[in-house]
Amino acid sequence: MKHEHIVKNVCPDSIAQELGIEPGDCLLSVNGNEIEDVFDYHFYVNDEYLTILIRKPYGEEWELEIEKDYEEDLGIEFEQGLMDEYRSCRNKCMFCFIDQMPEGMRDTLYFKDDDSRLSFLQGNYITLTNMSDHDIERIIRFRLEPINISFHTTNPKLRCKMLNNRFAGEALKKADRLYEAGIRMNGQIVLCKGINDGEELTRSIGKLSCYLPYLESVSVVPVGLTKYREGLYSLEPFTKEDAKEVLDNIHRWQEQIYKERGTHFIHGGDEWYILAEEELPEEERYDGYLQLENGVGMLRLLIDEFEESISKLPGDIKKREVSVATGKLAYPYICKLAQRITEKYTGTEVHVYAIENNFFGELITVSGLITGQDLEAQLKGRPLGKKLLLPCNMFRSGEEVFLDDMTLTQLAEALQVRVDIVKSSGQDFIDAILHLE
């Protein structure tokens, strides 16, 4: 198959613009190599000397010679982000969140990706089940790392059951190959009660720790259960006692692995600590927050950043009134942060609201899955002050649309208040509250 890639955008002042490359042009090859997809492209354009072949929309072919710094980008954006079709997953995991979504949401939310190229580019977690030997070879050859892997268990039979894919156990051998080639990886385990917890979890952590140092971290997060599980595998939510057990197990391993390898390696998601009503680990135990994209350590980081910033501020008595909406999970922590502000800024009033997730069901307590309609229904008529602050994880990056397609403007109109999106750092939270104008 011939691979041709249409240019969508050319960055201003880039090498590509200087050479006269334009939207609509077609990239045919780099240094004589046909480009299969974004993996190939990333690898081949790194060189200092390039010869690229472009076909103009009117058919003329241009051979362009380029001298540039090593790894300097050409500034080309292609019509297909991956320069190939997105690969969907071949599993039917018993805990899949997409299978638990109500009907009628936007199409893109139902797409089940499991694409190693997205793992490298965006940090997505992949199950390895639809990766060919060719994919593995390219990752090793081009050193595309880190690769983030959803292990869930290292028991091949159990993995087949959990992923509903008879090749899922065998696919674990691909992690062996990545390890042998020294490719950096991160792992995750979605824990399901009575399935891969207890002894199975102990075994999995033990086996995964053998992939150190290349497997740099593994997170354990509880399964998310919505109210739309009809016809799906019956899964139960974790209790406080369960969470304590999971954390005991994780902490035992952390201690042992830290003694032997100088890293904590295995990390519990923030949800476990809240459910178990235990103190969040101190910063050092997160090993540099390797799993932050997965939400692991988010609260500890927020609290520490907040403390560092607020302790340096002088305080005042100026009148301010503002509101913050969050999920039930983070609510107690956000209340404490708000209280710290109001102690120092005595004229400031902060209303913090915990939004119940009626859209997906009460077991979903993270702020990232709150919809516009739940916000509207639960905040209407409540004191909101001069503006309502919402965490940025309620929105897709760069967009002001909730999961249920309600826009930020629609919510602001419905509530008759200005609505601002706040980034997840402690300093941003303070700024958003204190700088009302």
For residue 89, state whether it binds ligand SF4 (rule: CB under 6 A): yes
For residue 166, state whether it binds ligand SF4 (rule: CB under 6 A): no
Which segment (20-28, 92-100, 304-312, 397-405) binds ligand SF4 by CB under 6 A? Answer: 92-100
Select 129 or 326, whichever has its Cβ closest to ligand SF4.
129
Q: How many residues does the chain have?
A: 437
Asked if residues 264 and 257 have their Cβ atoms less than 8 Å apart, the reply is yes
Residue 350: in which H helix or E strand, if any? strand 348-355
- The least distance separating ligand SF4 from the CB of residue 93, rounded to whole angstroms, comes to 3
> Measured between alpha carbons, how far is 55 from 347 in angstroms, rounded to an integer?
65
Ranges within 393-422 binding ligand SF4 (CB under 6 A): none
> Measured between alpha carbons, how far is 376 from 373 in angstroms, rounded to an integer?
5
CA 129, distance to chain mean position in Å, is 20
- The least distance separating ligand SF4 from the CB of residue 42, rounded to whole angstroms, comes to 24
Select 91 or 291, whichever has its Cβ closest to ligand SF4.
91
Select 169 or 281, whichever has its Cβ closest to ligand SF4.
169
Which segment (85-93, 238-246, 271-279, 358-366) binds ligand SF4 by CB under 6 A? Answer: 85-93
Q: Is 321 helix (H, G, I), strand (E, B) or coil?
A: strand
> Measured between alpha carbons, how far is 391 from 429 in angstroms, rounded to an integer?
9
Which segment (37-45, 49-57, 88-96, 334-342) binds ligand SF4 by CB under 6 A? Answer: 88-96
Select 112 or 203, whichever has its Cβ closest to ligand SF4.
112
Kindly give, in sequence order, each residue whose CB lies less than 8 Å from that of residue 57, ignoring residues fewer than 6 positions away: 24, 25, 26
Closest to 203 (Cα-Cα) out of 247, 252, 153, 162: 153
- Nearest 5°: the CA angle 297, 288, 173 is 90
CA distances from 264 to 251, 254, 384, 389 (A): 9, 5, 42, 35
Select 191 or 341, whichever has its Cβ closest to ligand SF4.
191
- The least distance separating ligand SF4 from the CB of residue 88, rounded to whole angstroms, comes to 8
Looking from the CA of 345 toward its CB, the CA atoms found within 13 Å total 23
Residue 94: in which H helix or E strand, if any? none
Which segment (8-16, 93-101, 300-308, 379-387) binds ligand SF4 by CB under 6 A? Answer: 93-101
Kindly give, in sequence order, each residue whose CB lies less than 8 Å from that of residue 241, ignoring residues fewer than 6 positions away: none
> Measured between alpha carbons, how far is 190 from 235 in angstroms, rounded to an integer?
12
The sheet carrying 266-268 orders its strands as: 125-126, 147-150, 185-191, 215-222, 266-268
- The least distance separating ligand SF4 from the CB of residue 348, rounded to whole angstroms, comes to 43
For residue 93, state whether it binds ligand SF4 (rule: CB under 6 A): yes
350 DSSP β-pair partners: 322
Q: Residue 191 is encoded by which pair of tokens?
A: 């824990």
One of 92, 166, 173, 336 touching ligand SF4 (CB under 6 A): 92
- The least distance separating ligand SF4 from the CB of residue 95, rounded to whole angstroms, comes to 7
- The least distance separating ligand SF4 from the CB of residue 350, rounded to whole angstroms, comes to 37
- Which letter does DSSP use for residue 254 in this model? H
Which segment (58-66, 87-95, 240-248, 382-390) binds ligand SF4 by CB under 6 A? Answer: 87-95
For residue 91, state whether it binds ligand SF4 (rule: CB under 6 A): yes
- The least distance separating ligand SF4 from the CB of residue 394, rounded to whole angstroms, comes to 21
For residue 112, state whether it binds ligand SF4 (rule: CB under 6 A): yes
Site size toward ligand SF4 (CB under 6 A) is 9
Asked if residues 27 and 4 have their Cβ atoms less than 8 Å apart, the reply is yes
- The least distance separating ligand SF4 from the CB of residue 342, rounded to whole angstroms, comes to 42
For residue 168, state whether it binds ligand SF4 (rule: CB under 6 A): no
- The least distance separating ligand SF4 from the CB of residue 165, rounded to whole angstroms, comes to 9
- The least distance separating ligand SF4 from the CB of residue 109, rounded to whole angstroms, comes to 11
Select 93 or 384, whichever has its Cβ closest to ligand SF4.
93
One of 96, 131, 160, 417 touching ligand SF4 (CB under 6 A): 96
One of 100, 127, 130, 217 touching ligand SF4 (CB under 6 A): 127
Sign of CA dihedral 93, 99, 101, 105: positive
One of 37, 40, 114, 200 touching ligand SF4 (CB under 6 A): 114
> Measured between alpha carbons, how far is 138 from 26 in angstroms, rounded to an integer?
24
Question: Could you give the residue ranges of the DSSP H alpha helices within 28-67?
Answer: 38-44
Q: Which residue reads 């249409």 in tokens?
A: 6
Asked if residues 430 and 345 have their Cβ atoms less than 8 Å apart, the reply is no
One of 57, 61, 71, 98 touching ligand SF4 (CB under 6 A): 98
- The least distance separating ligand SF4 from the CB of residue 190, rounded to whole angstroms, comes to 8
CA distances from 373 to 14, 66, 195, 225 (A): 43, 53, 34, 20
- The least distance separating ligand SF4 from the CB of residue 277, rounded to whole angstroms, comes to 29
Contacting positions for ligand SF4 (CB under 6 A): 89, 91-93, 96, 98, 112, 114, 127
